[in-house]
Amino acid sequence: MTHVRIVMVNTTLPANIGSALRAMKTMGLSQLVLVAPKTYPHPDIDALAAGAQDLVEKIKIVDTLEQAIQDCHIVFGTSARSRTIPWPLLDARPAAELSMDAVITRQQEIAIVFGREDRGLTNEELALANYHLTIPVNTDYGVLNVAQAIQVICYEMRMATLAQVQNDQASSDSQKMQVTEKIEMDWDEPLVNHQQMEEFYPHLEKMLVDIEFLDPQNPRLLPLRLRRLFGRAQLDRMEYHLLRGIFSRVQALSHGKWKKTALDKEEQSDV
Amino acid sequence: MTHVRIVMVNTTLPANIGSALRAMKTMGLSQLVLVAPKTYPHPDIDALAAGAQDLVEKIKIVDTLEQAIQDCHIVFGTSARSRTIPWPLLDARPAAELSMDAVITRQQEIAIVFGREDRGLTNEELALANYHLTIPVNTDYGVLNVAQAIQVICYEMRMATLAQVQNDQASSDSQKMQVTEKIEMDWDEPLVNHQQMEEFYPHLEKMLVDIEFLDPQNPRLLPLRLRRLFGRAQLDRMEYHLLRGIFSRVQALSHGKWKKTALDKEEQSDV
């Protein structure tokens, strides 16, 4: 994503610049522009940007926000609160989708501008933006710091990029399989919880040992495979009791404690 | 979102716990569980969790991961890399959608488990999860630290919550909800097809008749329940052959054609 730049205005803490670089690199962004940084260069930036040295070397330093965004087609100003007059406002997700569309279909340049640690962007700076960008947070406690906000927005940029790539590929190429699962919500029985399943697996394994299907001295991957299978299925209470009933019957059979007679109505009574 | 807990295993740095609390509070989550933390309590946690003191007071400390998740219905283990055998894997976004749906429609308990700063979760810990959860990152540089990963996942949880609220407002007509989830995974074995399953169910039922757990004259809902269970699980080829091997062993036992002797290596050979 060479067409999307992150712009930080008057940043004070080197740690925030380092974190921004890490977040960017992780999500595939590469261009950071610093507008009149308070502390730059600083050894902490290199330390915190561990592994993102190539991005450190690409950092551009400019004096004014105007210089940082002059060649951009779409500028987003990040803002936690509403300003003097309403501005076109986008959440991080639609902002990222809009950006990726602009980059891919029109090769436009995008800037996402972040303000000072203590007071964000000024009204004048926000007025330079095409859109204001906000991250939907808990309104009782709306305090993402600048590093966290950059993290979230870079993540949305990556998600939007991946979505575009997936749209382009006609889903035929790879060896990956896609499984579409429909989960019906009005289930007739409650699902069992983790604790119950931790009684289920030992019972299943003991039964398999009893019929000598599982060698306790050399279980190989069998217990893990069964755990994966039933963990994926998420048993409900009825299924759970049914299966444990079956295990107990097989165990009784293997111990010679149960022999084929009439159907035991008791065990099936709840089905 | 009181039904979603964040679980951190063997965390070393107080700063990461503080950051996690801030990220959680910002996104509306409140329950943090620490499994055998290396440094707790620590003054840095309170300093870094500024404004999230109510969450600090709610922190639960437990000795084992088992204790942290025992009452949970869905457990996500976060993982950056693939393990011994593939596990159902969800990206952060569908994982959050699945979680919110489970919470809102079924009041289920969800845990999202994060590992150690240096080496994540062990294979044994990951095997306790229903799903593995991953954040799609730049594969050349896939290193989100634990605080960043928690930030992204808490953000997706909030986005999924807001989407649910919007859905409720938009369509209050039906109480049924269907969520279609895409689960993408690099599975080690192909999934079996419908035809193979149509051989599987009769085999299972015949085995249950042989051990007189199923009355063919009066099967009630038992065959249907088993069909739903294994249909939901979507067996892969290995699981399929394992289960059919177990059925055959139980049948041989019930017919007196097989008696407990040495382990039959043949049946387990592919596991």
Alpha carbons B168 and B107: distance in angstroms, whole number: 16
**Contact between A5 and A36 (Cβ < 8 Å):** no
Alpha carbons A51 and B18: distance in angstroms, whole number: 24
Alpha carbons B246 and A207: distance in angstroms, whole number: 10
Q: Quick check: A13 pLDDT over 80?
A: yes
**Contact between A138 and B28 (Cβ < 8 Å):** yes
Alpha carbons A162 and A139: distance in angstroms, whole number: 30
Alpha carbons B174 and A182: distance in angstroms, whole number: 17
What is the separation of C-alpha A80 from the centre of its chain, rounded to a whole number of angstroms?
22
Q: E strands along chain A, which residues?
A: 4-9, 31-35, 60-62, 74-78, 89-91, 110-114, 131-134, 177-184
Q: What pLDDT digit, counting tens, does each position of B91-147 carry?
A: 999 999 999 988 887 788 899 999 999 989 998 898 888 888 999 888 777 668 899
**pLDDT recorded at residue A83:** 57
**pLDDT recorded at residue B167:** 72
ipTM of the complex model: 0.72
What is the separation of C-alpha B140 from the centre of its chain, rounded to a whole number of angstroms?
27
**pLDDT recorded at residue B82:** 58
Residues in chain A with CB shorter than 8 Å from the CB of B129 are 231
**pLDDT recorded at residue A261:** 65
- Decide: helix, strand or coil at residue A190: coil
Average of per-residue pLDDT across A138-143: 74
Average of per-residue pLDDT across B7-17: 95
Q: What pLDDT digit, counting tens, does each position of A81-122 carry?
A: 655 566 778 899 999 999 998 898 778 889 999 999 998 999
Average of per-residue pLDDT across A7-19: 95
Alpha carbons A66 and A11: distance in angstroms, whole number: 16
Question: B157 to each of A181, B89, B94, B150, how far by Cα in Å?
Answer: 20, 17, 10, 10
Alpha carbons B221 and B111: distance in angstroms, whole number: 33
**pLDDT recorded at residue A257:** 83
Residues in chain A with CB shorter than 8 Å from the CB of B213 are 245-246, 249, 264, 267-268
CB count, 10 Å around CB of A31?
18
Pick from B196, B200, B188: nearest CA to B238: B188
Chains A and B: how many Cβ contacts under 8 Å?
A: 236
**Contact between B70 and B59 (Cβ < 8 Å):** no
Question: Of B26, B176, B182, which is closest to A141 when you measure between CB atoms?
Answer: B26
Query: Would the CB atoms of A23 and B233 count as touching at under 8 Å?
Result: no
**Contact between A75 and A33 (Cβ < 8 Å):** no
Q: What pLDDT digit, counting tens, does each position of B20-79 carry?
A: 999 999 999 999 999 999 999 998 898 888 789 999 999 999 999 999 998 888 889 998
Q: What pLDDT digit, counting tens, does each position of B67-93 carry?
A: 999 888 888 999 876 556 777 888 999
A26: phi then psi, degrees, rounded to nearest 5: -60, -35
User: If you write DSSP's letter for every residue of chain B in order, what string do you get?
Assistant: -TTEEEEEES---HHHHHHHHHHHHHTT--EEEEES-SS-S-HHHHHHTTT-HHHHHH-EEESSHHHHHTT-SEEEEE-SS--SS---EEEHHHHHHHHHHHHHHH---EEEEE-BTTTB--HHHHTT-SEEEE----GGG----HHHHHHHHHHHHHHHHHHHHHHHHH--S-S--EEEEEEEE--SSPBP-HHHHHHHHHHHHHHHHHTTSS-TT--TTHHHHHHHHHHHHT-BHHHHHHHHHHHHHHHHHHTTS--S-S--HHHHTT-
Q: What does the mean pLDDT of chain B come to?
A: 84
Residues in chain A with CB shorter than 8 Å from the CB of B178 are 182-185
Which one is predicted more confidently, A70 or B252?
Answer: B252
Pick from B53, B59, B14: nearest CA to B34: B59
Q: Quick check: A176 pLDDT over 80?
A: no
Minimal C-alpha gap between B189 and chain A (Å): 11
Which one is predicted more confidently, A167 or A207?
Answer: A207
Q: Quick check: B263 pLDDT over 80?
A: no
**Contact between A62 and A37 (Cβ < 8 Å):** no
Average of per-residue pLDDT across B208-215: 96
**Contact between A101 and A161 (Cβ < 8 Å):** no
Give the model's confidence band at B183: pLDDT under 50 very low, under 70 low, under 90 confident, else very high.
very low
Residues in chain B with CB shorter than 8 Å from the CB of A264 are 212-213
Q: Delineate the domains of chain B, giving CATH numbers in brackets.
A: 4-170 (3.40.1280.10), 194-268 (1.10.8.590)
B22 contacts: CB under 8 Å, gap ≥ 6: A143, A145, A148, B48, B49, B50, B51, B52
**pLDDT recorded at residue A181:** 35
Q: Which of B24, B100, B104, B130 to mutate to test the interface with A (most CBs of A within 10 A)?
A: B130
Half-sphere exposure of A101 (CA within 13 A, CB side): 6
Residues in chain A with CB shorter than 8 Å from the CB of B128 are 194
**pLDDT recorded at residue B84:** 60
Tell me the Ramachandran region of residue A247: left when phi exceeds 0, alpha when psi lies from -120 to 50, beta otherwise.
alpha
Question: Of A142, A182, A195, which is closest to B70 when you measure between CB atoms?
Answer: A195
**pLDDT recorded at residue B239:** 94
Q: What does the mean pLDDT of chain A come to?
A: 84
> Which residues are bridge partners to B91 per DSSP?
B134
Query: Would the CB atoms of A137 and B27 count as touching at under 8 Å?
Result: yes
Q: Quick check: B240 pLDDT over 90?
A: yes
Tell me the Ramachandran region of residue B51: left when phi exceeds 0, alpha when psi lies from -120 to 50, beta otherwise.
left
Per DSSP, A116 falls in state B
Tell me the Ramachandran region of residue A109: left when phi exceeds 0, alpha when psi lies from -120 to 50, beta otherwise.
beta
Pick from B197, B202, B196, B203: nearest CA to B250: B203
Q: What b/e string do you get for B32-46 counting C-beta neighbours within 10 Å, with b at 16 or more?
A: bbbbbbeeeebeebb
Q: Quick check: A268 pLDDT over 50?
A: no
Query: Would the CB atoms of B70 and A249 count as touching at under 8 Å?
Result: no
